[in-house]
Structure 1
Amino acid sequence: MTTMKDVASAAGVSTATVSRVLAGHAAVKPETARRVHDAASSLGYVLNPLARSLRQQRSPVWALVIADIGNPFLTQVARGVEDVARTAGYSVLLCNTDEDPEKEDGYIAIADQYRVAGLLITPTSTRAAVDGLLARGVPVVAMDRPLGSSASDTVLIDSRRAAREAVTGLVDAGRRRVACITGPRRVFTAEERVLGYREALQDSGVEVDEDLVHYAGFNEAGGRAAAQALLDAGPVDGVLVANSLMAVGVLGVVRERGLRAPEDVEIVAFDDAPWTSLLAPSVRVIHQPAYALGRSAAELLLDRLEQPGREARTVMLTATLDPTPTPASTPASSKDPTTT
């Protein structure tokens, strides 16, 4: 029976390269991919994850554990994972934790019971209970947020840098009371965005007022509650918001208070949901490569399945910011944002 090793030998490449080509890995050179496909065709080799899984006593299924399927960012991440998995012959078991550590623990246990071939996860914290899976040789890939284990592969987006760039732009445009509305304290990305926010203010010579930093749920209700508390306490002329769902809540409160966005309050939010273009210019967007994050994570998992002994890798992707913010309007900025 023809094996992947036979194909690799015929094509003059490694078995890992054969796996990547047959899984549709975009980073392989076209000439290399052609040699692999030609070799596989001539030898009659077909990628068979089921047979491989039976040898490993694992099912041809990946568990995808994500924090909130209602978040458009994570929906795109899931799509990137699923596209790679399907091409490679795997099915995906989708598990939604709602940012609940207990639900997360339950789904990880279920994944182990189902003897999945691998786990991809956006963990609720670095303490997610994946050690048992790793000890049994099940590969784990952390997405968007790292795990405490050094044995798992990781794909992150440099949101700290993006937050720093966004807040620096707000200050350069004349905004002086810039707030930050972010997610729960235990979540890595929530804290990274606060760190970028603080660094930008410090680098710009603006005093950091911790009263302008609000932690809330990563959803519209969380953004709304945080914005109400923020504006009840005093005026602001710029806000960095941790995701697009929160931004909807923030924008709603800003408009209810009789303020104009972006003239009175410039809102910059992470994530470009399909509908964020309808909010322009009210909300500027920090675009995160969600689909690429999912694909990269899935490709790391495929690599790990072919090379279980290799060292863990971390991939860092880049977020990009919309064009220059709107200059602050002095008369509009003097309005009392607590007035309904």
Structure 2
Amino acid sequence: MARRPTVSDIARASGVSVATVDRVLNGRLPVREETARRVYDAANAIGYHAAALIRRRIEQELPQYRLGFILQRPDQPFYQAFARELDHVVNAAERFRGTADIVHLDTQTPTEIAARLRETASRCRAVGMVAIDHPAVTAAVAEAREKGVPVFSLLSDFAPGIRENYIGLNNRKVGRTAAWLIARTTGQPGTPGRPGTTTRPGTASRPGTASRAGTASRPGKVAVFIGSHRFHGQEMREIGFRSYFREYAPGLELVETVVNLEDGDIAHEATLDLFRRCPDLVGLYVGGGGMEGVIAALREEGMAGRIVAICNELTADSRAALADDIVAMVIGTPLERLSRELVAQMVHAIENGPAETPGQIFLPFDIFVAENI
């Protein structure tokens, strides 16, 4: 019969004294959190019979935080995935006992957003939110700050100078990246790259090479979709998108920006109308929500390989569109890293107070094409 692990075994495995292990087990004197966790990890690893008791004692000493998260519509797969990741990160936290209070917005009206923020801030220690930039939202953020509840802007910035920090992508770079691919794959002169790699207008692909989405080499029109002009992040994507073409591919004509209100049905009809109005369309970037409707329209009209289409966030729809040559590239948000960074920043603000100079935390974005999904 195997010998049962003892307190001395835990002490050796964790590198602390027997007296320290005893304090952790019995809660007689305070022990640093790092030391207590090291003792628990050692006890759990060697199969100590009271490892669960050690964990409970550690948890009893941890602070309890209710963290609020206000996301966009619950029917959007991206925000469903975001909510799951946030819930997982909060529940798996080791430095505190947390509850993820997740709220989804049904509309984009400033009054609803402000009301939901006030409600959430009244019961949470900190709030992370995806929202438009509007004076009513800024006022609600200021109220929360005055009450000691820090508010973080996620994915799209708002209330600069009042919110705690922005955490998300560098949206101007996202827009320029989308423009870069369209310019490269339509072979426009002036596209930066290695000497000799830019395709001249009118030239064909190399003999024997397969054509991927939108590899046409011709001048034409390019369109960009956004959900709302009030989303600062989408505005920055549009700015980056347009600035790239002005600088490097002036031969492509950008049509008026299409606003789809983050709605798939509106995006679908707007895309079909765009095809009718612009038969020489060669590139399309969906800089916000509603990509499901755009993808559906591209499929219906048989646009695979004829238009360089780019969208944001890898979902079941965009993954299938990549595989079927409907979409050339998807720019993705690293949700796991974003959630971990956000929760860490929220806890830091709760425990240490607001930042003296709130800023922006940019995360690297993911690039998906047909060959890496």
Report the TM-score when normalising by structure 2.
0.68
Letter in 1 for 2:364: T
Aligned residues: 292
Report the alpha carbon displacement of residue 35 of structure 1 after superposing the two structures with TM: 8.6
Change (3 A) 1:112 1:197: closer
Contact 1:78 1:294 in 2 (8 A): no
SS in 2 for 1:46: helix
Change (3 A) 1:146 1:218: same
Query: Map of 1:224-239 to 2, 5 A cutoff?
Result: 224-235=268-279, 236-239=281-284
Change (3 A) 1:194 1:213: same
Please say if 1:264 is aligned against 2:306: yes
Aligned to 1:118: 126
Letter in 2 for 1:200: Y
What is the CA–CA distance in structure 1 between the aligned matches of 2:234 and 2:337, rounded to whole Å? 21
Please say if 1:93 is aligned against 2:122: no
Report the alpha carbon displacement of residue 234 of structure 1 after superposing the two structures with TM: 1.6
Aligned to 2:202: none
Report the alpha carbon displacement of residue 118 of structure 1 after superposing the two structures with TM: 1.6
Aligned to 1:290: 335
Instruction: Return 315-324 or 227-236, whichever deviates more.
Output: 315-324
Contact 2:153 2:165 in 1 (8 A): yes
Aligned to 1:320: 366
Aligned to 1:251: 295
Report the alpha carbon displacement of residue 271 of structure 1 after superposing the two structures with TM: 0.6
Change (3 A) 1:197 1:47: farther
Aligned to 1:46: 59
Aligned to 2:144, which of 116, 130, 133? 133
Aligned to 2:166, which of 154, 159, 164? 154
Letter in 2 for 1:305: I
Aligned to 2:242, which of 198, 211, 228? 198
Task: Give the ranges of 4+ consecutive aligned residues of structure 1 lying more than 4 Å apart after TM superposition.
Answer: 34-38, 207-210
Aligned to 1:167: 179
What is the CA–CA distance in structure 2 between the aligned matches of 1:226 and 1:217, rounded to whole Å? 11
Instruction: Identify unmatched segments of 5+ residues in structure 1.
Output: 12-17, 23-33, 54-59, 326-340
Aligned to 1:276, which of 312, 315, 318? 318
Aligned to 2:84, which of 65, 79, 83? 79
What is the CA–CA distance in structure 2 between the aligned matches of 1:323 and 1:248, rounded to whole Å? 17
SS in 2 for 1:125: coil
What is the CA–CA distance in structure 1 between the aligned matches of 2:310 and 2:104, rounded to whole Å? 27
Q: Residues 252-291 of structure 1: CA distance to partner in whole angstroms, max 9, x if unpaired? A: 22343x4422x21121111101342222221131122123
Please say if 1:108 is aligned against 2:117: yes
Change (3 A) 1:289 1:222: farther
Aligned to 1:241: 286
What is the CA–CA distance in structure 2 between the aligned matches of 1:285 and 1:271, rounded to whole Å? 6
Contact 1:7 1:36 in 2 (8 A): no
Instruction: Identify unmatched segments of 5+ residues in structure 2.
Output: 1-22, 43-53, 187-217
Report the alpha carbon displacement of residue 170 of structure 1 after superposing the two structures with TM: 1.4
Contact 1:212 1:230 in 2 (8 A): no
Please say if 1:7 is aligned against 2:51: no
Contact 2:225 2:257 in 1 (8 A): yes
What is the CA–CA distance in structure 1 between the aligned matches of 2:144 and 2:298, rounded to whole Å? 46
Q: 1 or 2 for the larger relative contact order (CA 8 Å, sep ≥6)?
A: 1
SS in 1 for 2:120: helix
SS in 2 for 1:90: strand
In our comparison, the structure showing a higher alpha carbon Rg is 2
What is the CA–CA distance in structure 2 between the aligned matches of 1:290 and 1:186, rounded to whole Å? 23
Identical amino acids, percent of aligned pairs: 16
Please say if 1:143 is aligned against 2:154: yes
Report the alpha carbon displacement of residue 109 of structure 1 after superposing the two structures with TM: 2.1
Letter in 2 for 1:66: L
Contact 1:79 1:294 in 2 (8 A): no
What is the CA–CA distance in structure 2 between the aligned matches of 1:45 and 1:324, rounded to whole Å? 47
Please, what is the CA RMSD of the aligned residues? 3.3
Change (3 A) 1:47 1:275: farther
Report the TM-score when normalising by structure 1.
0.74
Report the alpha carbon displacement of residue 194 of structure 1 after superposing the two structures with TM: 0.7
Contact 1:238 1:267 in 2 (8 A): yes
Report the alpha carbon displacement of residue 157 of structure 1 after superposing the two structures with TM: 0.9
Contact 1:185 1:191 in 2 (8 A): yes
Aligned to 2:227, which of 153, 167, 183? 183
What is the CA–CA distance in structure 2 between the aligned matches of 1:169 and 1:36, rounded to whole Å? 51
Aligned to 2:71: 66
Contact 1:162 1:286 in 2 (8 A): yes
Aligned to 1:337: none
Report the alpha carbon displacement of residue 318 of structure 1 after superposing the two structures with TM: 1.6
Report the alpha carbon displacement of residue 210 of structure 1 after superposing the two structures with TM: 5.2
Contact 1:183 1:215 in 2 (8 A): yes
What is the CA–CA distance in structure 1 between the aligned matches of 2:362 and 2:256, rounded to whole Å? 29
Contact 1:181 1:241 in 2 (8 A): yes
Letter in 2 for 1:268: I
